[in-house]
Amino acid sequence: MQNQKKKKVVVIGSGVAGITAAARLARSGIDVSLYEKNDFFGGKCSVIKENGYRFDCGPSIMLMLEIFEELFEHLGTSMTAENIKVLKCDPNCHIWFSDGNHFTTSTDLTHMKQQIEGFEGGGAFNSYLGFLQESQQHYEQSITHVLNKDFPNFGSLLRPRFLRYLFKLHPFHSVWQRASHFFRIHKVRQVFTIGSMYLGMSPLEIPGTYTLLQYAELTGGVWYPCGGFYRLFESLITVGQRFGAKYHSSSPVKRVVISEQNKVLGVTLESGKFVEADAVLVNADLLYAYENLLPEDPSTAGISTRGRDVSCSTISFYWSLSKKVPVLGIHNLFVDDSFGKGDRNVYWDPDDSVIPNFYIHIPSKIDETAAPPGKDAVNVLILVRNLEDSTTNDDITSRIIAKAREQVIFFIERRTGISNFKKLIENETFHQPSSWQKTFNATKGGVFGLKHNFFNILAFRPKMRHENFSGVYFAGASTHPGAGVPTCLAGAKLSAEEILKDLGANSSWSKPSSNERSLFDLLMQGNTMVALHDWGSVSLIIMSFFIFVGVMSYLKQ
């Protein structure tokens, strides 16, 4: 057994899920080779450094700390052992309204009581506790029945335990509807729905289940890793190397090679080199991979139509300031009064009069290594149309970049009282839809993968294994369970477990997560008594669910 040849897995792409899955597979005794097209690792979680300033390229809000802790535990280590120090951001976020009002969120209940009752009046704190209680249900049941379970087909929606909680997850309501159930003041509703922007979605469109984001933030807190978000994934690469994983930068993959029997053989690099593999995990942009890396296959023809479901993009500025700006917090959201008032698009359109909603992150407020002494590093993120939704398919012009910059600076000064903010900017770099597309192969420049509306979650979301090519798997923002760093970590775990199971290998951490059978599975296997016992308690839910899906499918046509 000791001389048995190791199974080989190739990972394409070094985003969150790719780096994580590579480390998990290597820890489980697999011969892993990861190939990244860029000369740096991390994907949109990479780092930007300019003259002593450091910026997180993409994600900057660390939620669900327990998922990160679990990951390192499964790898036989801990964040502390890997010299990763995480700092709690308090308050969580500063929210700046268009009329000059200001709200700060925190895990401190006394603080939240004062803030909420200042807007909603006496007694409103009980509504907040009710909102937290419902959101807790969304969070805990989603962790158990969604993040840790695969949904490979529609039959998997009929797992008895999942069905029992289906309506309690409020997937048929929007986040805005759930917040409106508890709060009457528009600004307070904005406070507890603005988190939908973390996934590039409108609170009027994203399922109510996603109030779990607010619960995670308001009870578990917002954290930041010293050295930046990339520090986490730099450490995971080190851990993976410790177990023998090999990481190759500046090594783009040209093609996944499939045999005549539809079995994966390996990959061909742009250099012409062929790399043999027993399995290939694709962490490249999903639609890009189907169009450019995989052979055409009739069974997955529908994937190409998912282009209409690509999320919005961003204009992201990275500003080096000449001095600190005390009035701004670590995390800041600038929200216009129109947010939540009927328009399902949350992105800024430079061709109309819509005032942008934007996010500002200042890592140097909590981590002094992010900027030179006495100065601040500032990240600004504005949601904008993806390239297909733009008025043209060309790059965002310098005029639009200039207008975005002008608008952000204007509203910073107007709402915070900071004067001459523009003069503080010593240096600027930025990402726009075309650069997201060029640098990361992000289809249409969409930065959140596919959208997270009802028909793009659970069994409706693209699968983590190819339907026809044996040995080809996927992980990342566009596959189940979806976008967001903790979610991609969970998805990487599920994909790694599927690969290990198919290769006949055991995971180094636990038994596979996806082990609950659906009612269809039970019936098909002849376990009729068990199935009928559960069927009696959930048949009404099943009927209602499919009636709803049928109606929604008809209306969507």
> Where does a domain end: 503, 529, 544?
503
Is the CB of residue 287 less than 8 Å from the CB of residue 348? no
Q: Side-chain half-sphere of 98: how many Cα atoms within 13 Å? A: 14
Which DSSP string corresponds to 505-517? ---SSSS-S--PP
The structural domain count of the chain equals 2
Largest CA distance in the chain: 74
Residue 153: inside a domain: no
Extract the tokens encoding 145: 């029945």
Sorted by sequence, the CB contacts under 8 Å of residue 239 that are 6+ apart come out as 23, 27, 72, 75, 77, 82
Phi, psi (degrees; rounded to nearest 5) at 225: -80, 130
Beta strands in 394-531 (DSSP E): 425-431, 472-474
Is the domain of 301 the same as that of 245?
Answer: yes
3-state secondary structure of 488: helix
Q: What's the confidence (pLDDT) of residue 520?
A: 41
Is the CB of residue 34 less than 8 Å from the CB of residue 14? yes
Q: What angle do CA 81, 86, 92 make, to 5 degrees?
A: 160
Is the CB of residue 147 less than 8 Å from the CB of residue 523? no
Residue 398 CB-density burial (10 A; 0-12 exposed, 13-18 middle, 19+ buried)? exposed
Residue 326: inside a domain: no
Cβ atoms < 10 Å from Cβ of 348: 24
- In angstroms, the CA 121 to CA 453 distance is 33
Each of the 557 residues of the chain gets a pLDDT tens digit; together they read 455 788 999 999 999 999 999 999 999 999 999 999 999 999 999 999 999 999 999 999 999 999 999 999 999 999 999 999 999 999 999 999 999 899 999 999 999 999 999 999 988 999 999 999 999 999 999 998 888 888 877 777 777 777 777 788 898 899 999 999 999 999 999 999 998 888 888 899 899 999 999 999 999 999 999 999 999 999 999 999 999 999 999 999 999 999 999 999 999 999 999 999 999 999 999 999 999 999 988 877 777 777 788 998 999 999 999 999 999 999 999 999 888 887 666 778 776 677 889 999 999 999 999 999 999 999 999 999 888 755 444 445 678 899 999 999 999 999 999 999 999 999 999 999 999 999 999 999 999 999 888 777 777 888 899 989 999 999 999 999 988 999 999 999 999 999 999 999 999 897 554 445 544 444 444 443 333 344 444 444 444 444 444 444 444 44
Extract the tokens encoding 505: 């290998």
Is the domain of 21 the same as that of 80?
Answer: yes
- Please state the three-class secondary structure of 341-410 as a single string: CCCCCCCECCCCCCCCCEEEECHHHCCHHHCCCCCCEEEEEEEECCCCCCCCCCCCCHHHHHHHHHHHHH
Phi, psi (degrees; rounded to nearest 5) at 294: -110, 150
> Residues of 434-452 as b/e, b for ≥16 C-beta within 10 angstroms?
bbbbebbbbbbbbbbbbbb
Residue 465: inside a domain: yes
Q: What's the confidence (pLDDT) of residue 73?
A: 97
Which DSSP string corresponds to 145-195? IIITS---SGGGGG-HHHHHHTGGG-TTSBHHHHHHHH--SHHHHHHTTGG
Extract the tokens encoding 372: 């030179």
Is the domain of 481 the same as that of 528?
Answer: no
Q: What angle do CA 459, 464, 468 make, to 5 degrees?
A: 100
**Domain of 556, in residue numbers:** 521-557
* pLDDT, tens digit, 9 for 90 and up, residues 4-63: 788 999 999 999 999 999 999 999 999 999 999 999 999 999 999 999 999 999 999 999
- In angstroms, the CA 294 to CA 209 distance is 34
Q: Side-chain half-sphere of 542: how many Cα atoms within 13 Å? A: 17
Is the domain of 74 the same as that of 12?
Answer: yes
* pLDDT, tens digit, 9 for 90 and up, residues 443-458: 999 999 998 887 777 7
Is the CB of residue 309 less than 8 Å from the CB of residue 74? no
Measured CA to CA in angstroms, residue 520 lies from 156, 513, 540 at distances of 8, 19, 16
> Position of tokens 């009282």?
417
Residue 419: inside a domain: no
Is the domain of 235 the same as that of 298?
Answer: yes
Is the domain of 232 the same as that of 276?
Answer: yes
- In angstroms, the CA 334 to CA 201 distance is 16
Is the domain of 243 the same as that of 300?
Answer: yes
Residue 480: inside a domain: yes
DSSP alpha helix (H) spans, 201-309 = 212-215, 230-242, 286-288
Extract the tokens encoding 315: 């204009």
Residue 151: inside a domain: no
Q: What's the confidence (pLDDT) of residue 352?
A: 64
Identify the sign of the CA torsion 36, 42, 48, 49: negative
Q: What's the confidence (pLDDT) of residue 305?
A: 73
Q: What's the confidence (pLDDT) of residue 3?
A: 56
Is the CB of residue 361 less than 8 Å from the CB of residue 368? no
Phi, psi (degrees; rounded to nearest 5) at 228: 100, 165
What's the CATH code of the domain at 247?
Answer: 3.50.50.60
Extract the tokens encoding 262: 């539809």
Is the domain of 491 the same as that of 541?
Answer: no
